[in-house]
Structure 1
């Protein structure tokens, strides 16, 4: 696996949510600490064309536009899933008015939002930091931090797209359910939902002393059962606000944060469900992204696109860019919100490897056929040897 490209100056977003359709990645919401989240404004939508690695944003509706009432307010800690060529956004919060439990649909063909009508009495309570994934015709929601009770959750809900109704999973006595948590991940792998990581506590379902579980759990929709997976190998350390994604029948975990040990990560781990084995991946190519949390990772074809998130910095950067700094007194962290994009190629072609080598060595390629020039420009425009802003740390 090769990190092949790094592009700066994308949308500066943290705790956002995203989905991919065809060659486009749609990023919804999130925050940057240079912005005001005490006002109710329509959520922002940024779109990445993965063929040319260019971002553009959609205009927000004003109050006179009928779309204004159908558009979710700007938020973070929400989830986005893709179902039948549309995006479904649920949950999340803002500083005002707080959390939300409406289900929204975004149609990329019309670029219009709609509020999904739902029936039934088992609508999940408002929350953020939950997880979501689609299996067949259902969207599964697990965990999160409930605003009304101020507690972590370990409930599993699913939304039936065919009937437009929410259901609460009725747990069994022998279920091995993950402990209440938030900012974990849920991934559909071969029709099963795998839960990893997140933040919980030792005793009661409310925030006291944080606990970071590195066990892997799986929910099987067919048998309606929860199991803890007995894994072997290089198990990733517990973390929250990481990214999880599937490729070629395997589960991958990237980056995240553990405040018990005070570390941000930039490691990549692979889980093989056939052998139940974890292994840490040693990547090649350009230098790894710096450690971070609350980024997004999306797979398109044989490449993974990682963007945004926030990273620890020292006070020297704060002096240079005060508007980009978020000070977290409780954890004594100063964080820098990222605007970069990295591309990980799972199966690089010989042409890609040649372009990467030529770009790294800065070799003159005017003798190449013209049909290669535009594609090669993507590599020359990338930050092959990304210089860290003053004060960035290795985590």
Structure 2
């Protein structure tokens, strides 16, 4: 397993949501520190082509467009899933209107948004920091931070694509339902939903808010609507929130995230095998690991994973608006990079990586190989960190 490429100068995005179709990655919304989130403008969409290694932006609807109101407003903390070659966006919030509970559909063929018509009156409450997972013809929504109650929750809903209706999954008395939380992950493995991580709180006698981070795996089986709390073995990872979870060849992978109890951003990669219930930490080869971060996106296409965006800790001096901890001023740096992780690199990929890292001349090789090498090295093979950006 290798980190093979790092592409710079992409959209600076934090707490965004994304999905992949064919050779394209679609990134929806999110924020950066330089943007104004007190206005309700249409959400932005950035597209990455995995063959050309280029980003481009789609045009936003204009107020004069007939379907202007069908587009979701700009937001963060939302979720996006792919179902039958369309993207479905739910939840999230903006600083001005707050959280949202409308369901939107984006068609990449027509580049048009639409509001999904809901049958019946039941709709989950508005929230952000929830998770979403498609199993068969349903989109499951779990937990998050509710806007109306201003509290974490642990309810589970599903949207039936065939009936275009929302439903609630009520737990049984014997179920081991996960605690209320936000910024966890939900992943479909063999038509079961694996919940990992997230943040929840506990209010003590002195009404002091304390965060907790779960490192158990919670499994929901839609066949009988049952929950199971699994305590795996092996190289157990720290609990965290705002991490990324993805699957490859039937295994679950966790990358990055943040735990404020130990004040740590992560850039570690862990693998869980459902057949053995074992965790193991992956130590990739290739280029230098991505810097620690949270609220990034990770998507798998074929045998490669694409990680982009997020925010990382920095150490700064002489900036009065940063938090002062033990005399060291710290803050967050919003990332604009994209890393490519190859689960099983071919011999050609390893050769390209070797040539690029060693800066070996390829003048004696064929023109066809020259073209492949040029495209491969459009990425920054040896990434230079921005000033003040930390490595751990």
TM-score, normalized by length of structure 1?
0.95
* Counterparts of 1:245 and 1:268, CA distance in 2: 11
Within 5 Å, give how 1:236-255 maps onto structure 2: 236-255=237-256
> 1:343 maps to which residue?
340
1:18-66 residue CA offsets vs partner (Å, 9 max, x unmatched): 0000010000000011011111100000000001110000011111012
Distance, in Å, in 2 between the alignment partners of 1:164 and 1:118 is 6
Q: In 1, distance between residues paired with 2:125 and 2:252?
A: 29
Which of 355, 360, 368 in structure 1 is aligned with 2:357?
A: 360
Offset at 1:201?
Answer: 1.2
Which has the higher mean CA deviation after the structures are superposed, 101-110 or 119-128?
A: 119-128
> Do the aligned partners of residues 333 and 91 (structure 1) sit closer, same or farther apart at CA in structure 2, a change above 3 Å counting?
farther
Task: Quote the Cα distance in structure 2 between the aligned partners of 1:369 and 1:161.
Answer: 51
Which residue matches 1:184? 184
In structure 2, do the counterparts of structure 1 residues 327 and 123 end up closer, same or farther at CA, with 3 Å as the change threshold? farther
Q: Describe how 1:15-34 pairs up with structure 2 within 5 A.
A: 15-34=15-34
How many angstroms does 1:394 deviate by? Answer: 2.1
Distance of 2:233 and 2:142 partners within structure 1: 25
Alignment of 1:322-337 (within 5 A): 327=322, 333-337=330-334
Partner of 1:84: 84
In 2, the alpha carbon distance for the partners of 1:107 and 1:137 equals 18
Check whether the contact 1:132–1:142 (CA below 8 A) recurs between aligned residues.
Answer: yes
Q: Which moved more, 1:273-282 or 1:66-75?
A: 66-75
Q: Name the CA shift for 1:102/1:57 in 2 (closer, same or farther; >3 Å).
A: same
Instruction: Tell me, in whole angstroms, the C-alpha distance in 2 between the residues paired with 1:328 and 1:279.
Output: 35
Is the Cα–Cα contact under 8 Å of residues 316 and 330 in structure 2 kept in the other structure? no
Residue 216 (structure 2) pairs with residue 215 (structure 1): yes
TM-score, normalised to structure 2, is: 0.96
* Residue 333 to residue 154, structure 1, CA distance change in 2 (3 Å): farther
Report the equivalent of 2:376.
379
Task: List runs of 5+ in structure 1 lacking aligned partners.
Answer: none
Change (3 A) 1:259 1:136: same
CA deviation string 1:138-170 (max 9, x = no partner): 000000000000010100000000000000101
CA separation in 2, counterparts of 1:249 and 1:329? 44
Question: How many Å apart are 1:327 and its aligned residue?
Answer: 4.4
Aligned to 1:302: 303
Question: Which residue does the alignment assign to 1:278?
Answer: 279
Measure, in 2, the Cα distance between the counterparts of 1:297 and 1:35: 23
- Equivalent residue number for residue 154 of structure 1: 154
The structure with the greater share of residues assigned to strand is 2
Q: State the partner residue of 2:122.
A: 122
Indicate conservation of the 8 Å contact 1:201/1:207, yes or no. Answer: no
Unpaired runs of 5+ in structure 2? none
Compute the displacement of 1:378 (Å).
Answer: 2.8
**Aligned-residue offset at 1:347:** 0.5
Output the CA distance in 2 between the equivalents of 1:329 and 1:111: 46
Q: Distance in 2 between matches of 1:207 and 1:270?
A: 35
Range moving further from structure 2, 365-374 or 151-160: 365-374
Question: In structure 2, how many angstroms separate the alpha carbons of the residues matched to 1:177 and 1:366?
Answer: 61
Q: How many residues in Structure 1 have an aligned counterpart in Structure 2?
A: 388
Q: Check if 1:370 corresponds to 2:367.
A: yes
SS of 1:153's partner is: strand
Q: Give me the whole-angstrom Cα distance separating, in 2, the residues matched to 1:353 and 1:123.
A: 50
SS at match of 2:154: coil
Aligned-residue CA RMSD in angstroms?
1.8
Q: Report how far residue 381 of structure 1 moved.
A: 2.2
Residue 280 of structure 2: SS of its match in structure 1?
Answer: strand
The Cα shift of 1:203 comes to: 4.8
Q: Output the CA distance in 1 between the equivalents of 2:157 and 2:324.
A: 35
